Structure 1
Amino acid sequence: MTINASSQSGMRPRRSCLYMPGANERALEKAKSIPADSLLLDLEDAVAPDAKIEARDRVCAAVKAGGYDQREVIIRINGLDTQWGMDDLNAAVAAGPDGILAPKVSTSDEVLALDTALSQAGAKPDFALWIMIETPLSILNLKEIGMCAHSTRLNTFVMGTNDLAKDMRALMTPDRIAFQAQLSMAVTAARAFGITAIDGVYNDIKNEAGLQAECEQGRVLGFDGKTLIHPAQVEMCNTIFSPSEADITQAKDVVQAFADPANSGKGVLKVNGKMTELLHLVEAERIIAMDNVIKSQNQG
């Protein structure tokens, strides 16, 4: 099976990806009214071992029932190396979400095994495979893992910064200095292979200033969005990972400048005082398209 990951991802915004505990029925219902772009219905970290099967049944029933409107619905399964993983995967495919999120993927062989299991479970080619990048080995194998996007359903990296911190024995400081290389490497691999890159969670729920700073840092690093652990974090995340009015204005001016017959054949222009090349035109077109999708989604 050959799938182009970039076309699979399309222009769907993934600014805010909110984890919802699969064992909590009220949370699954509340998720239907939260303005997150993506809902990650969690069967892994958020669920105790003795509640795994019940949570699986509850999540799959909620997905089958629907009601999540334009929100992307992803089920985070347990690893295939656990007693629950394969049953989670099979049940998720049968329930019909937009995709699954697999934890602790460290090698390309694991991606291939997940994709094969999805095919055997009857998943369609456009069923999305998201994977957690949260082990030191996954960082070292980013190139090989990313290459799988050209031949599998892989289309999204999700950073697991808490697990990465634990395995590295590193401290999670406000500037995330211990993780900036790993975060940047993941974004680089994502861009090389047409994969969406989602930043890790921010743990201090009541610290709005801290959340804002980390969202802005993630945006600077090039992430498409951020995973979140509380609905109160969604609005800020959506704002920061959306194109700003200044971005949109500049993008439109760039497109208009290159469309001007007077500039036909020119590879470099000056737009609003800034040197602008054809590569900036490509990014300008992406910004405008994403803004249109977000506005259309908000109207819906």
Structure 2
Amino acid sequence: MENQTDQALVIINPQAGNGNLVNSLKDILPDLSMKYNDLKILHTKKEGDAKEFCRQYGEHVSTVIVFGGDGTVFECTNGLAPLRKRPTLAIIPGGTCNDFSRTLGIPQNIKQAVQTIVQGYTAHVDVAQANEHYFLNFLGMGLVEEVSNNIDPNEKSLFGKLGYYLSTIRTLKEADTFNVSVTIDGQQYNEKLVMLLIGNGEYIGGMSSFIPNVSYNDGILDILMVKNTDLQTLKEFFSSRIFNQEFSENIIHVQGTLIDIQTPQPHSIDTDGEHVLKTPCKIKLLPGHFQMIANPIS
């Protein structure tokens, strides 16, 4: 076991996943207590609590450990990113999809995830700022945002990740286009799209991302613009891993660090599964902004 380090803050969302995370504390606290000299545990009770906990304590602990789902990770990201002195961020996956923990190679078994934290390997992680918010994993408009909106809560509760697959099938049948102007590092694109996706992580909705070679620490964002609404084309697109087949007429793939999104009317935006933004939206990448616990063999 490594030497004990400074204080760690554990933020637990009791409502995440199947709602039984509190019962799992007894399985994870012994190992964490051997790793950290001082362990502070805070339970969220309402939306915004995790963000406020990070703002209040983030500069005074060495590590913030998120025990919850993607929504809790998003809140902690937004609480920690503005801080001048930022602690190491760790995730114990406790939600339905746990997308960014998968990107980092964190085991989805809770006890194994804790062992990864105890081992202490860290990686620098890029963070993107979108207006006054921050995201780790993705920003989406159109199809990807509609899939999130169309998830049936009962299906999500019963089937977990399968609920996202079912929502995708429903949404593909009803995909609408939207007009958008996207400026990427000074290059402007005026398009009618069925989906705009800006990726930093490897998973969306628990599914392996269809953006080729996307990386959380390469200092660049991947932008995907999908123009065609034909159902068969989209099915091929989702199953192809892109660019293994030729979709150049209907799909634009660009990389950049400064992105400006404009639409004729305000259009809703999905950031890491949360709906807190509308256009217009300015995005900039903050390379290596976070240090996060990761699996060295991922």
Same-fold status (TM-score > 0.5): no
TM-score w.r.t. length of structure 1: 0.28
Give the structure with the larger helix fraction. Answer: 1
TM-score w.r.t. length of structure 2: 0.28
